[in-house]
Amino acid sequence: MNPYVTGSTIKNLREKRNITQETLGEEIGVSGKTVSKWETGKGLPDISLLEPLAKSLGISLIELLSGDSIENKNPSSNLYRSKFYVCPICGNTIHSMGEIVASCCGITLPPLEAEDPDEDHAFEIERVEDESFIKIHHDMTKEHFISFFAYVTPDQFILKKLYPEGNAEGRFPLRKTGYLYAYCNRHGLMKQKILGINPKSK
Using CB under 5 A, list all residues that contact Fe ion: 184, 186-187
38 or 149, CB closer to Fe ion? 149
Q: Where are the alpha helices (DSSP H) in the chain?
A: 7-17, 21-28, 32-39, 50-57, 61-66
CB of 22 to Fe ion, least distance (A): 52
97 or 190, CB closer to Fe ion? 190
Q: How far apart, in whole angstroms, are the C-alpha atoms of residue 65 and residue 133?
A: 44
Q: Report the b/e string of 38-59 with b at 16+ CB within 10 A.
A: bbeeeeebeeebbeebbebbeb
CB of 18 to Fe ion, least distance (A): 44
- Cβ-closest position to Fe ion: 184
38 or 181, CB closer to Fe ion? 181
**168 close to 140: Cβ distance less than 8 angstroms:** yes
CB of 120 to Fe ion, least distance (A): 6
CB of 145 to Fe ion, least distance (A): 8
